[in-house]
Each structure stands twice: as structure tokens, then as C-alpha cells.
A = this chain, B = another copy of it.
Amino acid sequence: MTRVNVAMIGTRFMGRAHANAWRQVRAFCEPPVDPVMKVVCGQDPERAATAADRMGFGESATDWREVVARPDVDVVDVCTPGDTHAEIAIAAAEAGKVVFCEKPLANTVGEAESMLAAVERAGVLHMLCHNYRRAPAVALAKRMIDAGELGEIRHYRGVYLQDWIVDPDFPRVWRLEKARAGSGALGDIASHSLDLARHLVGEIAEVSGLLETFVRERPLEDGGGRGPVDVDDAALTLLRFECGAIGSVEGSRFCPGRKNHNRFEINGSKGSLVFDLERMNELRVYREEGADSGFRTVLATDETHPYVEAWWPPGHLLGYEHTFTHTVLDLLRAIGADRLPTPNFRDGVAIQRVLDAIERSDATRRWEAV
């Protein structure tokens, strides 16, 4: 296979990010398999048509069931809200398509498990899009850890902080409804930090979680009064990893000044790493190097750094959307080699189980096994 036809379901925020990745990957990187942007599917026909035109898809459609069944579609890219992932992904798998799904995989453990069962039953390749793994600085962190440069890992300290709902009159958008979003800060942002924890440190064994909703009623979007907020505004958890490391993760949307502050610090027996998404081209690295040791700021823009050779000379920054392009690149490489990429639906199930344990722990007020 030297070309694959891609159908993308969803046209909003994540749709734009994924479409950009499909468009850019061939211009800059050299994927072994070329993606053809075949069709984009959205509920509103006009919006879908505009999306196709601007984002570079050959055509648009409104019925995802028809799209995933098309014989000229090889890859289905699911970019819709989380409550629809299971249905679309399972249908795509049953139609024999490669399934690429935006995180969260699903809103519940049950859904996630059924999705994993579907892709495995169908024998199709599957990938979950946790894009931050492929920021070059994060991939560099992974490379250093795998090479043993940090020694034995002792601590993971992750936060993902935002401030977009600090105002109590910010409306109750769909992300604040449990029925649609599954959870609040927990699944939306803490899940990113938990994904990086699993990626960089290893499996999480048990958690002690705490969920809080500071503003419990908000104006409805249609202007008719106020409605309840039934998801968490903030989620905190202590962690014990299977490898013996300990840690903490926090997601909150109530941190003024923190726009997209996805930060982690990892301490091992031989060194430490610090990453902050708001300075995503940098990795701070500490190694014990005698009297003049110190945290160094590595600008992860050299051609030796992961994914960078495709882009610009040293010191020329990459941005948010490049993380998706790198993810799509690795998906195409996996397709080319006919092997399973990571993270995939197994990881999606694993993360969902961690989120579930945190919710259980918040309810029981005890440590809970994952």
C-alpha cells in the first residue's frame, strides 16, 4: 500500500487539527505511505463543504455511516465529541478500516473495552491520538528515559491547568455536561497528564483521587436560565506506579493565568526532567555533573531531536499543530510496516481504567486499585 484514502469524521477544533496534519505530513515529512484526503464528514452540509474546501479534502459528506462503509476509504479518523467515538469506531472497524481516534477513546471503561474488542476482532490497525507524546521535547524525554539517563524513576509530578471557566457566568457548554463529555477536567486535561505518566514512567497501580466542582450552576447556552454542572472543575490524584515510583496529577480549569499549562517533572536516581506545554520547544534537563550542575534548557529544535529534521534549522520553533502531524506520520509508518502504532486502543482502555479508579476513589475516599 503506498497510498491510503482518509475519511475524517468531525470538523470542529480537533477536525481542523487532524486535517492540518494530513495535509502537512507529506509536505514536510516523508511518510512511507501517502495519505489522500478523500472525504470529510460533518452534520451540517454547508459547514462540511466549507471544511472540505478549506482543509483540502476532496469531498464532503454528512452521514458518517455511509462514509465509514465506503470501499474507497482506508482510514477513518474520528474527531467527534467523546460520546460518539464508540459507535463510529466500532462501525469503522467492522468495515475493515484502520481506525484513528482522538482522545479520550470513550466516556466509560465499558465503551472503551468494546471498541478495543471491535478492532481486535476485525484485525484492523488502530491508534489513539494523544498528540503531546509527539512534541519533540516530550519525545526527547522519552528517549532519555528509555536510554537510562534518569536512572530509576522515583517521582512523576504532572499538572494540566487552564482558566477558561473561572468566570462563574461562563456558560454551561457541552464540555460541562457529564452525558456528553463523560467528565470535566479529569477526562479532558488530567487524562493528558496521565497518558504522559504511563508513557514516560509506566503503568499506574493505584490512586487516591479528589474531584471538586467549584461552580455548580451556570447559564445555559440558549439563554434560558441556569443549569447544573455535573462534571468536575478540578481533579487531583496521588499515584503509585507498578515500578515503585510515586506521583501526583492534577487537572483544573480554575487557575487564572494558566492557559494551557501541561507541565510535568520527573525525578529519577540520576537526573530530572521538566516540560511545560506553554514552552513546548524546551525540555529542562538535570544531570548530576559535579560542582557546576544545573537544570539545562534544551531547545528541542536540532535535527537530532525527534521529528525535527523534517522542519527548520535549530532555534526555529514548532507549534501546537505539529504534534498532530507527527502522530499522523507515525500512523502512516505503522500502516506502511503493518504493525500496531502506539498509543492505541489498548492504551485507551488503560487510561479509561485509571480515570475510573480516580472517580471511584473520590467516592470511597480510599485508595483504589486501577
Q: Which A residues are closer than 8 A to B by beta carbons?
A: 13, 16-17, 19-20, 23-24, 26-28, 54-56, 140, 144, 154-155, 157, 159, 161-162, 164, 166, 208, 210, 212, 214, 234, 236-238, 240, 244, 246, 248, 250, 252, 254-261, 265, 267-272, 277-281, 285-288, 291-299, 301-302, 304-305, 312-322, 365-367
Contact = CB atoms under 8 A, between A and B. Distances in A.
Nearest to A53: B26
Given A256-B272, A297-B295, A317 B166 contact: no
A318 B315 contact: no
A64 B318 CA distance: 32
A296 B271 CA distance: 14
Number of copies of chain A assembled together: 4
Q: Which of A17, A24, A320, A367 gathers most chain B CB within 10 Å?
A: A320
Nearest to A250: B248
B320 A316 contact: yes
Given A238-B208, A286-B257, A319-B319, A252 B155 contact: yes
Given A208-B238, A246-B236, A252-B267, A278 B214 contact: no
A208 B365 CA distance: 9
A315 B297 CA distance: 19
B291 A302 contact: yes
Nearest to A135: B317
Q: Tell me which of A299, A305, A318, A366 has the highest count of chain B C-beta atoms within 10 A of its own C-beta.
A: A299
Contact of A210 (B238, B278, B315): B238
A278 B315 contact: yes
Given A155-B252, A294-B299, A365-B366, 9 more contacts: A13-B313, A144-B292, A154-B234, A208-B210, A248-B248, A257-B286, A259-B302, A260-B301, A319-B319
A365 B288 CA distance: 35
